[in-house]
Amino acid sequence: MEKILYAYYADNAKKLHGIVDRILSGFGGLTDKDTHDFYSLANEVFTKALKRYDNSQPFDAFLYSCLFNKIKTEMTRRNTQKRRADRMSLSIDMPVGDDETLTLGDTITDSFDIEKEIFGEENKSSSKIEKYLDRLSKRQQRVVRLLAASYKAGEIRDMLNITQKEYADALRGIRSYENISVLF
């Protein structure tokens, strides 16, 4: 047992981490934090595998199968949680009502009015507005102008002949912090 412990934990658990890295290479989208979480999980699996090991096969193969199964189970659990969260999310640009001209974002009250900030009388710095508008694409500028003229989402999509996704993308750019930060 001591020989096995030393083999896996020598040089800061290099061999154990190598096995985990080899297993994780089959999965994508992992952060450093995820990798460290799996290293911790591997320590737990190693301890349990060492207790259950019966010498019927090489320990390396036994440990690899234990680690692979545990990591695969954990990845499935994490992905299931992500899918649950995705099903619960709503888009602010989701149409509400029967005529689809009103979006969820239109129904939310907010003290910040981008249209008033850009085109309203309260604007005291036209250079900020010019900088803001220069950051926007031509489509985004058209959408801003139509919003300022009190057109609804469905009307704007029809007038510009764009899909709901294209409209949502334009709004995302219009409302992005990178763009509106010049107004502050």
Tell me: the pLDDT tens digits for 110-161? 666 666 666 665 545 577 888 888 889 999 999 988 988 888 988 999 999 9
Is pTM beyond 0.85 here? no
**What confidence tens digit (pLDDT) does each residue in 77-118 have?**
888 877 766 665 667 777 777 766 777 777 776 666 666 666
Helices (H) and strands (E) in the chain, counts: 10, 2
Closest to 179 measured CA to CA, from 141, 126, 122: 141
